[in-house]
Amino acid sequence: MKTNNFKRTKLACYTAYFTMSSIFSLPPLLFATLQDLYGISYTLLGTLVLTNFCTQLTIDLIFTFFTKYFNVKKVVRVMPLITTLGLLIYAIVPQILPQHAYLGLLVGTVLFSVSAGLSEVLLSPVIAAIPSDNPQKDMSMLHSLYAFGVFTVVVVSTLFLRVFSADKWMYLTLFWAALPVIAAVMFMLSPMPDMDVTSESSGAKSTGKRALGLALCVGCIFFGSCAENSMSSWISSFMENALHIDKTFGDILGMAMFAILLGLARIGYAKYGKNITRVLMVGMIGAAVCYLVAGLSSNVIFAFVACALTGLFTAMLWPGSLIMMEENVPGIGVAAYALMAAGGDLGASVAPQLLGVVVDKVSESSFAQELSVSMNLATEQIGLKAGMLVTSVFPILGVAVLIIACAYFKKQKKS
């Protein structure tokens, strides 16, 4: 089948990835509203976040080991409808059954998290399987659409909640629930490329080399995801509570700026990028510097810029790790992409959680109380800055793994 026949398929993948952004960026924007309206505790809200990433990780692992038992093409076509169903339950159940509001939120979260996991596992191999003159451009473009989706969701949702009363949040959620239907229709009307679901290769030696190379790529995507998602999860709270920036201003110029830089960097690589290992190295080092500046700087503007620039430096760490795998690991299939998604989702759950633990522990410590007097800062501010400093360890470790991976792949090419 000719490349032109897959243009609509590629556009459907882009649309699905764009609409998937609501799964990650909408719930945090609604947490304060849900807490006020239904009396849901911080612990239970945190459980929703944990449920989101654990569900995605489960889907990743299932497809890592059992891909051959699924009809991948049918799953891709149904996937956006699962997003819609999850968001519908998330919005409607608390309205019609307020006494069971949390149950509705939990069930909705599980469903749209399943779809998110499927998107991460399947959309990248679909794009990779479509014949292309520049596959790196297509992969980078796919992931840039997620960033622009986050930007759109943050700006539209923040303005909606600002203009209308917070108790109208259901209508906002229903709006975002309708958009994945467009992607589903596009998939139904589009051909699907053939994808390798077995990833079999001949010879134990070849399999062992491929496994080690894949493990190094998983390490890179894990630390890259840690660097990206720690900031994306905490930038709003950091700007409001550590930098004392107005929430609406912080969300639009903080979260949205982070997302737009994330997207622009991916678009830039799609158009001009080459030498992905160098891009990954610069991204890891730059992210580490941004976290250190955010944690150490007493200047609000410097800290603000560092938070936003993290989006620029972390932009290619996830898709770039996938590109590195495609270039250096032979015989990859859907299972390999699922394993990479598992590494990314593990980083997205571990690092933000660790940052939160550090914030709580440091804020409550006697050290923070003593430091708050000498630095004229609240203990919460000190805790948030300490969390940023600890998180800088992840991209630093990512640099070490990347150095090992580059040396290994260079040796393999020579041999």
Question: In 3D, which of 264, 40, 336 has the Cα closest to residue 169?
Answer: 40
Q: Do 152 and 230 sit in the same domain of this protein?
A: no
Q: Do 154 and 216 sit in the same domain of this protein?
A: no
Residue 75 is assigned to a structural domain of this protein:
yes
Q: Do 256 and 400 sit in the same domain of this protein?
A: yes
Domain boundary among the residues 168, 197, 226 is at 197
Residue 3 is assigned to a structural domain of this protein:
no
Residue 1 is assigned to a structural domain of this protein:
no
Residue 60 is assigned to a structural domain of this protein:
yes
Cβ neighbours of residue 87 under 8 Å, at least 6 residues apart? 22, 23, 108, 112, 173, 174, 176, 177, 180
Please give the residue range of the domain that contains residue 303: 198-415
Model pLDDT, residue 84? 94
The CATH number assigned to the domain holding 307 equals 1.20.1250.20
**CA trace torsion 330, 331, 334, 337 (10° rounding):** -10
Model pLDDT, residue 204? 44
Residue 217 is assigned to a structural domain of this protein:
yes
Greatest Cα pair distance, the chain, in angstroms, is 70
Residue 2 is assigned to a structural domain of this protein:
no
Residue 146 is assigned to a structural domain of this protein:
yes
Sign of CA dihedral 262, 237, 395, 228: negative
Q: Do 29 and 57 sit in the same domain of this protein?
A: yes
Domain boundary among the residues 140, 169, 197 is at 197
Q: Do 304 and 180 sit in the same domain of this protein?
A: no
Domain boundary among the residues 165, 197, 229 is at 197
In the numeric block, which tokens belong to residue 400?
Answer: 């070490």
Q: Do 325 and 363 sit in the same domain of this protein?
A: yes
* Dist. CA 111–CA 323, nearest whole Å: 29
Q: Do 24 and 167 sit in the same domain of this protein?
A: yes
Cβ neighbours of residue 330 under 8 Å, at least 6 residues apart? 201, 206, 210
In the numeric block, which tokens belong to residue 194?
Answer: 């053939």
Q: Do 120 and 260 sit in the same domain of this protein?
A: no
Which amino acid is residue 37, in one-letter code? L
Counting the structural domains of the chain, the total is 2
Q: Do 297 and 374 sit in the same domain of this protein?
A: yes
* Dist. CA 289–CA 82, nearest whole Å: 39
Model pLDDT, residue 208? 61
Model pLDDT, residue 198? 56
CA 366, distance to chain mean position in Å, is 35
Q: Do 134 and 271 sit in the same domain of this protein?
A: no
147 and 262 in contact (C-beta within 8 Å)? yes
Residue 371 is assigned to a structural domain of this protein:
yes
Task: Compute φ and ψ for 233, nearest 5 degrees.
Answer: -80, -30
CB atoms within 10 A of CB 202: 8
Can you tell me whether residue 41 is helix, strand or coil? coil
Cβ neighbours of residue 64 under 8 Å, at least 6 residues apart? 335, 338, 339, 342
Q: Do 111 and 90 sit in the same domain of this protein?
A: yes
- 10-residue mean pLDDT series, the chain (415 residues): 70 88 81 79 72 84 77 87 94 89 92 88 83 77 82 86 84 92 90 67 54 91 93 82 78 80 87 86 97 92 93 92 88 80 85 83 84 82 91 96 93 79
* Dist. CA 268–CA 273, nearest whole Å: 7
Q: Do 243 and 174 sit in the same domain of this protein?
A: no
